[in-house]
Structure 1
Protein backbone atom coordinates (compact mmCIF):
# COMPACT_ATOMS: atom_id res chain seq x y z
CA UNK A 1 0.00 0.00 0.00
CA UNK A 2 1.46 3.39 -1.01
CA UNK A 3 1.63 6.38 1.32
CA UNK A 4 -1.63 7.90 0.06
CA UNK A 5 -3.39 4.57 0.55
CA UNK A 6 -1.95 4.25 4.05
CA UNK A 7 -3.09 7.76 4.95
CA UNK A 8 -6.60 6.98 3.70
CA UNK A 9 -6.68 3.68 5.61
CA UNK A 10 -5.51 5.42 8.79
CA UNK A 11 -8.42 7.84 8.39
CA UNK A 12 -10.97 5.03 8.23
CA UNK A 13 -9.46 2.43 10.58
CA UNK A 14 -7.98 2.37 14.05
CA UNK A 15 -5.41 -0.34 14.68
CA UNK A 16 -6.71 -2.01 17.84
CA UNK A 17 -4.21 -4.85 17.55
CA UNK A 18 -1.62 -4.20 14.82
CA UNK A 19 0.26 -7.21 13.44
CA UNK A 20 3.08 -6.86 10.91
CA UNK A 21 2.25 -10.05 9.00
CA UNK A 22 -1.24 -11.08 10.10
CA UNK A 23 -2.69 -14.51 9.44
CA UNK A 24 -6.13 -12.94 9.41
CA UNK A 25 -7.57 -9.45 9.78
CA UNK A 26 -10.67 -8.80 11.89
CA UNK A 27 -12.48 -5.62 10.85
CA UNK A 28 -14.96 -4.34 13.46
CA UNK A 29 -18.01 -2.15 12.85
CA UNK A 30 -19.64 -0.41 15.84
CA UNK A 31 -23.29 0.23 16.69
CA UNK A 32 -25.31 3.42 16.12
CA UNK A 33 -23.64 6.17 18.11
CA UNK A 34 -20.64 3.93 18.63
CA UNK A 35 -17.03 4.37 17.62
CA UNK A 36 -13.79 2.50 17.08
CA UNK A 37 -12.98 2.74 20.78
CA UNK A 38 -15.82 0.31 21.55
CA UNK A 39 -13.42 -2.47 20.51
CA UNK A 40 -10.30 -1.26 22.33
CA UNK A 41 -10.50 -4.07 24.92
CA UNK A 42 -10.44 -6.79 22.26
CA UNK A 43 -6.69 -6.69 21.63
CA UNK A 44 -5.96 -9.51 24.06
CA UNK A 45 -9.00 -11.64 23.24
CA UNK A 46 -8.08 -13.11 19.84
CA UNK A 47 -5.63 -15.82 18.75
CA UNK A 48 -2.02 -15.02 17.92
CA UNK A 49 -1.58 -13.69 14.43
CA UNK A 50 -4.99 -11.99 14.27
CA UNK A 51 -4.91 -8.27 13.55
CA UNK A 52 -7.85 -6.15 14.70
CA UNK A 53 -8.83 -2.90 13.03
CA UNK A 54 -11.95 -0.93 13.98
CA UNK A 55 -13.85 1.32 11.59
CA UNK A 56 -13.63 5.03 12.34
CA UNK A 57 -17.09 6.35 11.55
CA UNK A 58 -17.09 10.06 10.64
CA UNK A 59 -18.50 12.53 13.15
CA UNK A 60 -17.02 11.16 16.38
CA UNK A 61 -13.80 10.76 18.36
CA UNK A 62 -10.79 11.64 16.18
CA UNK A 63 -13.12 12.31 13.22
CA UNK A 64 -15.40 14.60 15.19
CA UNK A 65 -15.15 17.42 12.64
CA UNK A 66 -16.09 15.18 9.70
CA UNK A 67 -19.83 15.26 8.92
CA UNK A 68 -21.50 11.95 9.80
CA UNK A 69 -22.82 9.81 6.95
CA UNK A 70 -26.48 10.40 6.17
CA UNK A 71 -27.09 7.25 4.09
CA UNK A 72 -25.85 3.68 4.07
CA UNK A 73 -24.40 4.17 0.58
CA UNK A 74 -22.43 7.23 1.72
CA UNK A 75 -20.87 5.24 4.55
CA UNK A 76 -20.31 2.00 2.69
CA UNK A 77 -18.71 3.30 -0.53
CA UNK A 78 -15.40 4.45 1.00
CA UNK A 79 -15.28 1.40 3.26
CA UNK A 80 -15.51 -0.92 0.26
CA UNK A 81 -12.64 0.95 -1.36
CA UNK A 82 -10.51 0.81 1.77
CA UNK A 83 -11.26 -2.83 2.60
CA UNK A 84 -10.40 -3.87 -0.97
CA UNK A 85 -6.83 -2.78 -0.22
CA UNK A 86 -6.51 -5.36 2.57
CA UNK A 87 -5.04 -7.96 0.24
CA UNK A 88 -2.29 -9.29 2.50
CA UNK A 89 -4.51 -11.39 4.79
CA UNK A 90 -7.93 -13.08 4.83
CA UNK A 91 -10.73 -10.86 6.13
CA UNK A 92 -13.30 -11.45 8.85
CA UNK A 93 -15.93 -8.79 9.56
CA UNK A 94 -17.65 -8.29 12.91
CA UNK A 95 -20.53 -5.84 13.16
CA UNK A 96 -22.70 -5.06 16.18
CA UNK A 97 -26.23 -3.64 15.80
CA UNK A 98 -26.09 -0.99 13.05
CA UNK A 99 -22.57 -2.24 12.41
CA UNK A 100 -23.94 -5.64 11.39
CA UNK A 101 -25.90 -4.04 8.55
CA UNK A 102 -22.89 -1.93 7.54
CA UNK A 103 -20.57 -4.96 7.59
CA UNK A 104 -23.02 -6.98 5.52
CA UNK A 105 -23.38 -4.20 2.93
CA UNK A 106 -19.61 -3.83 2.66
CA UNK A 107 -19.23 -7.61 2.30
CA UNK A 108 -21.84 -7.77 -0.49
CA UNK A 109 -20.20 -4.97 -2.44
CA UNK A 110 -16.66 -6.24 -1.89
CA UNK A 111 -17.75 -9.55 -3.36
CA UNK A 112 -19.66 -8.08 -6.31
CA UNK A 113 -17.33 -5.21 -7.23
CA UNK A 114 -13.89 -6.40 -6.15
CA UNK A 115 -14.11 -10.19 -6.20
CA UNK A 116 -13.21 -10.34 -2.50
CA UNK A 117 -14.90 -12.99 -0.35
CA UNK A 118 -14.61 -12.84 3.42
CA UNK A 119 -13.46 -15.75 5.50
CA UNK A 120 -16.45 -15.08 7.77
CA UNK A 121 -19.08 -12.45 8.49
CA UNK A 122 -20.05 -12.16 12.15
CA UNK A 123 -23.24 -10.22 12.90
CA UNK A 124 -24.33 -9.23 16.39
CA UNK A 125 -27.47 -7.72 17.88
CA UNK A 126 -29.16 -7.06 14.55
CA UNK A 127 -31.90 -8.97 12.74
CA UNK A 128 -31.35 -10.34 9.26
CA UNK A 129 -31.91 -8.15 6.18
CA UNK A 130 -35.59 -7.40 5.82
CA UNK A 131 -36.31 -8.37 9.43
CA UNK A 132 -34.90 -5.23 11.08
CA UNK A 133 -37.04 -3.16 13.44
CA UNK A 134 -36.86 0.63 13.66
CA UNK A 135 -36.96 2.45 17.00
CA UNK A 136 -38.22 5.70 15.43
CA UNK A 137 -35.46 7.81 16.97
CA UNK A 138 -34.23 9.70 13.91
CA UNK A 139 -36.47 12.68 14.64
CA UNK A 140 -36.71 12.27 18.43
CA UNK A 141 -36.02 15.21 20.69
CA UNK A 142 -32.73 15.35 22.57
CA UNK A 143 -34.20 14.16 25.87
CA UNK A 144 -35.96 11.18 24.28
CA UNK A 145 -32.85 10.27 22.32
CA UNK A 146 -30.69 10.34 25.46
CA UNK A 147 -33.25 8.27 27.34
CA UNK A 148 -33.52 5.64 24.64
CA UNK A 149 -29.76 5.37 24.25
CA UNK A 150 -29.52 4.87 28.00
CA UNK A 151 -32.13 2.12 27.95
CA UNK A 152 -30.17 0.20 25.33
CA UNK A 153 -26.96 0.39 27.35
CA UNK A 154 -23.49 0.47 25.86
CA UNK A 155 -23.11 4.24 26.29
CA UNK A 156 -22.15 5.94 29.53
CA UNK A 157 -25.18 8.21 29.82
CA UNK A 158 -23.41 10.41 32.35
CA UNK A 159 -21.60 12.08 29.46
CA UNK A 160 -24.93 13.60 28.41
CA UNK A 161 -25.09 15.56 31.68
CA UNK A 162 -22.52 17.94 30.25
CA UNK A 163 -24.30 20.24 27.81
CA UNK A 164 -21.14 20.79 25.78
CA UNK A 165 -20.44 17.09 25.37
CA UNK A 166 -24.08 16.43 24.59
CA UNK A 167 -23.95 19.00 21.80
CA UNK A 168 -20.89 17.29 20.35
CA UNK A 169 -22.12 13.70 20.64
CA UNK A 170 -25.83 13.76 19.80
CA UNK A 171 -25.50 14.80 16.12
CA UNK A 172 -23.61 11.61 15.25
CA UNK A 173 -26.05 9.44 17.21
CA UNK A 174 -29.00 11.09 15.50
CA UNK A 175 -27.36 10.73 12.07
CA UNK A 176 -26.76 7.03 12.70
CA UNK A 177 -30.42 6.45 13.59
CA UNK A 178 -31.47 8.42 10.54
CA UNK A 179 -29.16 6.30 8.39
CA UNK A 180 -30.36 2.97 9.74
CA UNK A 181 -34.06 3.88 9.82
CA UNK A 182 -33.98 5.01 6.18
CA UNK A 183 -31.96 2.01 5.10
CA UNK A 184 -33.73 -0.62 3.03
CA UNK A 185 -31.92 -3.93 2.84
CA UNK A 186 -31.53 -5.47 -0.61
CA UNK A 187 -33.71 -8.34 -1.69
CA UNK A 188 -32.30 -11.74 -0.76
CA UNK A 189 -30.92 -12.46 -4.23
CA UNK A 190 -28.85 -9.26 -4.02
CA UNK A 191 -27.85 -9.74 -0.39
CA UNK A 192 -26.09 -13.09 -0.65
CA UNK A 193 -22.51 -13.54 0.52
CA UNK A 194 -20.23 -16.48 -0.19
CA UNK A 195 -18.78 -16.36 3.31
CA UNK A 196 -20.21 -18.22 6.31
CA UNK A 197 -22.29 -16.06 8.63
CA UNK A 198 -22.17 -16.37 12.41
CA UNK A 199 -24.91 -14.56 14.32
CA UNK A 200 -24.74 -13.55 17.99
CA UNK A 201 -27.30 -11.84 20.20
CA UNK A 202 -28.48 -11.25 23.74
CA UNK A 203 -31.25 -13.58 24.85
CA UNK A 204 -33.00 -10.69 26.66
CA UNK A 205 -32.76 -8.26 23.73
CA UNK A 206 -36.36 -7.05 23.32
CA UNK A 207 -35.77 -6.09 19.68
CA UNK A 208 -34.63 -9.54 18.57
CA UNK A 209 -35.79 -13.14 18.48
CA UNK A 210 -34.15 -16.45 17.72
CA UNK A 211 -36.04 -16.53 14.42
CA UNK A 212 -34.93 -13.04 13.36
CA UNK A 213 -31.30 -14.00 13.94
CA UNK A 214 -31.61 -17.43 12.34
CA UNK A 215 -32.90 -15.66 9.23
CA UNK A 216 -29.35 -14.53 8.46
CA UNK A 217 -28.93 -18.07 7.12
CA UNK A 218 -30.96 -17.01 4.06
CA UNK A 219 -28.24 -14.64 2.82
CA UNK A 220 -25.21 -16.94 2.88
CA UNK A 221 -24.12 -19.56 0.37
CA UNK A 222 -21.75 -21.03 2.98
CA UNK A 223 -22.14 -22.15 6.58
CA UNK A 224 -24.27 -20.58 9.27
CA UNK A 225 -24.58 -20.72 13.04
CA UNK A 226 -26.34 -18.59 15.64
CA UNK A 227 -25.70 -18.37 19.36
CA UNK A 228 -27.41 -16.46 22.16
CA UNK A 229 -25.71 -15.10 25.25
CA UNK A 230 -27.28 -13.92 28.46
CA UNK A 231 -28.03 -10.21 28.38
CA UNK A 232 -29.73 -7.45 26.45
CA UNK A 233 -28.73 -5.45 23.40
CA UNK A 234 -25.22 -4.86 24.72
CA UNK A 235 -24.61 -8.40 25.94
CA UNK A 236 -21.35 -8.08 23.99
CA UNK A 237 -19.74 -5.84 26.59
CA UNK A 238 -19.78 -8.67 29.12
CA UNK A 239 -19.35 -11.59 26.74
CA UNK A 240 -16.80 -10.34 24.19
CA UNK A 241 -14.21 -12.96 25.12
CA UNK A 242 -16.69 -15.84 24.80
CA UNK A 243 -18.06 -14.49 21.51
CA UNK A 244 -14.61 -14.18 19.98
CA UNK A 245 -13.64 -17.63 21.23
CA UNK A 246 -16.74 -19.05 19.59
CA UNK A 247 -16.16 -17.12 16.37
CA UNK A 248 -12.57 -18.21 15.88
CA UNK A 249 -13.43 -21.81 16.73
CA UNK A 250 -15.81 -21.77 13.77
CA UNK A 251 -13.66 -20.08 11.14
CA UNK A 252 -12.72 -22.33 8.27
CA UNK A 253 -9.84 -24.60 9.28
CA UNK A 254 -8.12 -23.64 6.04
CA UNK A 255 -7.46 -20.23 7.57
CA UNK A 256 -4.64 -20.50 10.08
CA UNK A 257 -5.25 -18.40 13.18
Structure 2
Protein backbone atom coordinates (compact mmCIF):
# COMPACT_ATOMS: atom_id res chain seq x y z
CA UNK A 1 0.00 0.00 0.00
CA UNK A 2 2.33 2.73 -1.22
CA UNK A 3 -0.12 5.03 -2.98
CA UNK A 4 0.72 7.13 -5.99
CA UNK A 5 3.30 9.87 -6.01
CA UNK A 6 2.17 13.43 -6.63
CA UNK A 7 4.85 14.46 -9.08
CA UNK A 8 7.02 15.34 -6.09
CA UNK A 9 9.20 12.27 -6.26
CA UNK A 10 9.00 9.61 -3.57
CA UNK A 11 8.18 11.89 -0.67
CA UNK A 12 4.46 12.62 -1.06
CA UNK A 13 1.76 9.97 -1.50
CA UNK A 14 -1.87 10.22 -2.53
CA UNK A 15 -4.08 7.19 -1.86
CA UNK A 16 -7.38 8.65 -3.08
CA UNK A 17 -8.31 11.37 -5.54
CA UNK A 18 -9.94 14.60 -4.43
CA UNK A 19 -13.17 15.56 -6.18
CA UNK A 20 -12.14 19.15 -6.87
CA UNK A 21 -9.33 21.62 -6.14
CA UNK A 22 -9.41 22.60 -2.51
CA UNK A 23 -7.54 22.31 0.79
CA UNK A 24 -4.77 19.74 0.99
CA UNK A 25 -4.16 17.87 4.24
CA UNK A 26 -0.52 16.80 4.49
CA UNK A 27 0.09 14.05 7.07
CA UNK A 28 3.49 13.48 8.71
CA UNK A 29 4.05 10.03 10.32
CA UNK A 30 5.49 9.16 13.72
CA UNK A 31 8.92 7.63 14.36
CA UNK A 32 9.08 4.31 12.55
CA UNK A 33 5.85 5.14 10.75
CA UNK A 34 5.10 5.25 7.05
CA UNK A 35 2.70 7.03 4.71
CA UNK A 36 0.35 4.02 4.80
CA UNK A 37 -0.46 4.81 8.45
CA UNK A 38 -2.71 7.55 7.07
CA UNK A 39 -4.49 5.40 4.50
CA UNK A 40 -7.67 5.26 6.69
CA UNK A 41 -7.60 9.04 7.02
CA UNK A 42 -7.36 9.43 3.26
CA UNK A 43 -10.17 6.92 2.72
CA UNK A 44 -12.43 8.73 5.17
CA UNK A 45 -11.73 12.35 4.21
CA UNK A 46 -11.35 12.02 0.44
CA UNK A 47 -12.67 13.26 -1.88
CA UNK A 48 -13.69 16.32 0.20
CA UNK A 49 -10.04 16.89 1.12
CA UNK A 50 -6.95 16.14 -0.92
CA UNK A 51 -5.15 13.98 1.65
CA UNK A 52 -1.41 13.57 1.13
CA UNK A 53 0.90 11.44 3.27
CA UNK A 54 4.63 11.87 3.67
CA UNK A 55 6.89 8.89 3.02
CA UNK A 56 10.21 9.30 4.82
CA UNK A 57 13.25 7.45 3.43
CA UNK A 58 14.15 4.07 4.93
CA UNK A 59 10.76 2.37 4.98
CA UNK A 60 8.43 0.37 2.75
CA UNK A 61 9.29 1.06 -0.90
CA UNK A 62 12.03 3.48 0.24
CA UNK A 63 13.63 0.95 2.59
CA UNK A 64 16.89 0.85 0.62
CA UNK A 65 17.40 4.59 1.07
CA UNK A 66 19.26 5.83 4.15
CA UNK A 67 17.11 7.30 6.89
CA UNK A 68 17.46 10.98 7.73
CA UNK A 69 18.70 11.22 11.33
CA UNK A 70 18.29 14.97 11.73
CA UNK A 71 14.97 16.84 11.94
CA UNK A 72 16.36 20.01 10.38
CA UNK A 73 17.67 18.13 7.33
CA UNK A 74 14.39 16.26 6.99
CA UNK A 75 12.45 19.54 7.19
CA UNK A 76 14.70 21.17 4.59
CA UNK A 77 14.10 18.36 2.11
CA UNK A 78 10.36 18.25 2.72
CA UNK A 79 10.01 22.00 2.35
CA UNK A 80 11.49 21.77 -1.13
CA UNK A 81 9.02 18.98 -1.96
CA UNK A 82 5.97 20.79 -0.60
CA UNK A 83 6.57 24.27 -2.00
CA UNK A 84 5.15 23.31 -5.43
CA UNK A 85 1.95 22.15 -3.68
CA UNK A 86 1.20 25.53 -2.13
CA UNK A 87 -0.96 26.50 -5.11
CA UNK A 88 -3.82 25.16 -2.95
CA UNK A 89 -4.28 25.78 0.80
CA UNK A 90 -2.25 23.34 2.88
CA UNK A 91 -3.09 22.01 6.34
CA UNK A 92 -0.56 19.93 8.27
CA UNK A 93 -1.22 16.99 10.60
CA UNK A 94 1.78 15.47 12.33
CA UNK A 95 1.77 12.70 14.91
CA UNK A 96 4.59 12.39 17.45
CA UNK A 97 7.87 12.94 15.53
CA UNK A 98 5.67 14.06 12.64
CA UNK A 99 4.41 17.00 14.69
CA UNK A 100 7.95 18.29 15.12
CA UNK A 101 8.73 17.80 11.43
CA UNK A 102 5.52 19.59 10.45
CA UNK A 103 6.39 22.50 12.78
CA UNK A 104 9.86 22.87 11.27
CA UNK A 105 8.50 22.66 7.72
CA UNK A 106 5.97 25.35 8.64
CA UNK A 107 8.76 27.62 9.85
CA UNK A 108 10.62 27.17 6.58
CA UNK A 109 7.55 27.74 4.43
CA UNK A 110 6.79 30.94 6.29
CA UNK A 111 10.31 32.16 5.62
CA UNK A 112 9.61 31.44 1.95
CA UNK A 113 6.49 33.62 2.10
CA UNK A 114 3.74 31.02 2.47
CA UNK A 115 2.20 29.01 5.30
CA UNK A 116 -0.19 26.16 6.05
CA UNK A 117 -3.62 27.35 7.13
CA UNK A 118 -3.43 25.26 10.32
CA UNK A 119 -1.00 22.90 12.02
CA UNK A 120 -2.40 19.89 13.91
CA UNK A 121 0.23 18.65 16.38
CA UNK A 122 -0.67 15.24 17.76
CA UNK A 123 0.96 13.21 20.51
CA UNK A 124 3.94 15.50 20.97
CA UNK A 125 5.12 18.00 23.54
CA UNK A 126 5.94 21.57 22.48
CA UNK A 127 9.22 22.12 20.61
CA UNK A 128 10.72 23.94 23.61
CA UNK A 129 9.72 21.24 26.12
CA UNK A 130 12.89 19.18 26.42
CA UNK A 131 13.47 15.78 27.97
CA UNK A 132 16.73 13.91 28.19
CA UNK A 133 15.95 10.79 26.17
CA UNK A 134 18.33 8.24 24.65
CA UNK A 135 16.23 5.29 23.50
CA UNK A 136 18.09 5.39 20.18
CA UNK A 137 21.30 4.40 21.98
CA UNK A 138 19.70 1.42 23.73
CA UNK A 139 19.82 -2.19 22.63
CA UNK A 140 17.18 -3.97 20.58
CA UNK A 141 15.38 -5.30 23.66
CA UNK A 142 14.94 -1.76 24.96
CA UNK A 143 13.62 -0.63 21.58
CA UNK A 144 11.10 -3.46 21.57
CA UNK A 145 10.09 -2.57 25.13
CA UNK A 146 9.50 1.00 23.97
CA UNK A 147 7.20 -0.22 21.20
CA UNK A 148 5.29 -2.33 23.70
CA UNK A 149 5.00 0.62 26.08
CA UNK A 150 3.50 2.84 23.39
CA UNK A 151 1.09 0.08 22.30
CA UNK A 152 0.99 1.21 18.69
CA UNK A 153 2.59 -1.81 17.02
CA UNK A 154 0.87 -5.08 16.20
CA UNK A 155 2.10 -7.59 18.80
CA UNK A 156 2.58 -10.18 16.05
CA UNK A 157 5.25 -7.99 14.48
CA UNK A 158 7.16 -7.88 17.77
CA UNK A 159 7.27 -11.68 17.79
CA UNK A 160 8.63 -11.93 14.25
CA UNK A 161 12.46 -11.77 14.22
CA UNK A 162 12.62 -11.11 10.47
CA UNK A 163 10.21 -8.17 10.67
CA UNK A 164 12.07 -6.78 13.67
CA UNK A 165 15.33 -6.85 11.73
CA UNK A 166 13.61 -4.72 9.10
CA UNK A 167 11.95 -2.14 11.33
CA UNK A 168 14.38 -1.65 14.23
CA UNK A 169 17.11 0.20 12.24
CA UNK A 170 14.54 2.63 10.86
CA UNK A 171 12.97 3.12 14.27
CA UNK A 172 16.36 3.74 15.85
CA UNK A 173 17.24 6.34 13.21
CA UNK A 174 13.94 8.14 13.70
CA UNK A 175 14.35 8.11 17.47
CA UNK A 176 17.82 9.59 17.05
CA UNK A 177 16.35 12.38 14.93
CA UNK A 178 13.61 13.30 17.37
CA UNK A 179 15.59 12.75 20.59
CA UNK A 180 18.45 14.97 19.43
CA UNK A 181 16.09 17.65 18.08
CA UNK A 182 16.42 21.11 19.59
CA UNK A 183 14.25 23.99 18.53
CA UNK A 184 16.50 26.89 17.52
CA UNK A 185 15.79 29.43 18.77
CA UNK A 186 13.81 27.80 21.63
CA UNK A 187 11.15 30.53 21.42
CA UNK A 188 10.56 30.11 17.67
CA UNK A 189 6.98 30.68 16.55
CA UNK A 190 4.79 30.19 13.51
CA UNK A 191 1.93 32.45 12.49
CA UNK A 192 -0.65 29.81 11.61
CA UNK A 193 -3.13 28.40 14.16
CA UNK A 194 -1.91 25.37 16.12
CA UNK A 195 -4.32 22.65 17.24
CA UNK A 196 -2.87 20.06 19.62
CA UNK A 197 -4.27 16.60 20.33
CA UNK A 198 -2.97 14.18 22.98
CA UNK A 199 -3.91 11.11 24.98
CA UNK A 200 -4.29 11.64 28.72
CA UNK A 201 -1.96 8.73 29.58
CA UNK A 202 0.66 9.31 26.89
CA UNK A 203 4.10 8.71 28.44
CA UNK A 204 5.70 11.08 25.92
CA UNK A 205 3.66 14.23 26.62
CA UNK A 206 1.85 15.77 29.58
CA UNK A 207 -0.89 18.38 29.42
CA UNK A 208 1.57 21.01 30.63
CA UNK A 209 4.09 20.11 27.94
CA UNK A 210 1.33 20.21 25.35
CA UNK A 211 0.08 23.60 26.52
CA UNK A 212 3.49 25.07 25.79
CA UNK A 213 2.67 24.79 22.08
CA UNK A 214 0.70 27.99 22.70
CA UNK A 215 3.99 29.88 23.01
CA UNK A 216 5.04 28.69 19.55
CA UNK A 217 2.29 30.38 17.56
CA UNK A 218 1.13 33.94 17.13
CA UNK A 219 -2.14 32.52 15.84
CA UNK A 220 -4.99 30.78 17.59
CA UNK A 221 -4.25 27.81 19.86
CA UNK A 222 -6.52 24.92 20.82
CA UNK A 223 -5.91 21.71 22.76
CA UNK A 224 -7.91 18.47 22.71
CA UNK A 225 -7.32 15.70 25.25
CA UNK A 226 -8.58 12.16 24.66
CA UNK A 227 -8.65 9.04 26.76
CA UNK A 228 -5.71 6.87 25.84
CA UNK A 229 -1.97 6.72 25.38
CA UNK A 230 0.46 7.67 22.65
CA UNK A 231 -1.71 6.14 19.93
CA UNK A 232 -4.99 7.48 21.34
CA UNK A 233 -5.99 8.37 17.76
CA UNK A 234 -6.51 4.71 16.83
CA UNK A 235 -9.47 4.56 19.22
CA UNK A 236 -10.68 8.10 18.52
CA UNK A 237 -10.17 8.33 14.76
CA UNK A 238 -13.71 9.58 14.05
CA UNK A 239 -13.43 12.41 16.59
CA UNK A 240 -9.96 13.39 15.39
CA UNK A 241 -11.10 13.56 11.77
CA UNK A 242 -14.15 15.57 12.78
CA UNK A 243 -11.87 18.13 14.44
CA UNK A 244 -9.67 18.25 11.33
CA UNK A 245 -12.55 18.80 8.92
CA UNK A 246 -14.28 21.33 11.15
CA UNK A 247 -11.17 23.40 11.71
CA UNK A 248 -10.07 23.39 8.08
CA UNK A 249 -13.63 24.26 7.04
CA UNK A 250 -13.60 27.31 9.31
CA UNK A 251 -10.56 28.65 7.49
CA UNK A 252 -10.96 27.32 3.97
CA UNK A 253 -14.34 25.86 2.97
CA UNK A 254 -14.34 22.10 2.40
CA UNK A 255 -16.60 21.08 -0.50
Q: What is the TM-score normalised by the length of structure 2? A: 0.92
2:220 is the counterpart of 1:248: no
Aligned CA RMSD, in angstroms, stands at: 1.8
- 9-18 vs 176-185, which moves further: 9-18
Q: Which SS does the other structure have where 1:225 is aligned?
A: strand
Q: Which SS does the other structure have where 2:14 is aligned?
A: strand
Q: Any conservation in 1 of the 2:18–2:47 contact (CA below 8 Å)?
A: no
Distance, in Å, in 2 between the alignment partners of 1:234 and 1:125 is 8
Structure 2 alignment gaps of length 5 or more: none
Structure 1 alignment gaps of length 5 or more: none
Distance, in Å, in 2 between the alignment partners of 1:216 and 1:22 is 31
Distance, in Å, in 2 between the alignment partners of 1:254 and 1:215 is 23
CA-CA distance at 1:179 after TM superposition: 0.8
5 Å matches for 1:33-52?
A: 33-46=32-45, 48-52=47-51
- CA deviations 1:16-67 (Å, max 9, x no partner) are 3332633100000111111111111112433753111110011011111011
Distance, in Å, in 2 between the alignment partners of 1:117 and 1:72 is 19
Aligned to 2:204: 207
Q: 1:254 to 1:227 in 2, by over 3 A?
A: closer
Q: How many pairs were matched up?
A: 250
Aligned to 2:86: 87
Aligned to 1:64: 63
Aligned to 2:236: 239
5 Å matches for 1:144-183?
A: 144-183=142-181
> Which of 190, 195, 199 is the equivalent residue of 1:198?
195
Q: 1:200 to 1:132 in 2, by over 3 A?
A: farther
Q: Any conservation in 1 of the 2:193–2:219 contact (CA below 8 Å)?
A: yes
Q: Any conservation in 1 of the 2:42–2:52 contact (CA below 8 Å)?
A: no
Q: Any conservation in 1 of the 2:17–2:46 contact (CA below 8 Å)?
A: no
Q: Which SS does the other structure have where 2:198 is aligned?
A: strand
Q: What is the TM-score normalised by the length of structure 1? A: 0.91
Distance, in Å, in 1 between the alignment partners of 2:133 and 2:235 is 24
CA-CA distance at 1:134 after TM superposition: 4.6
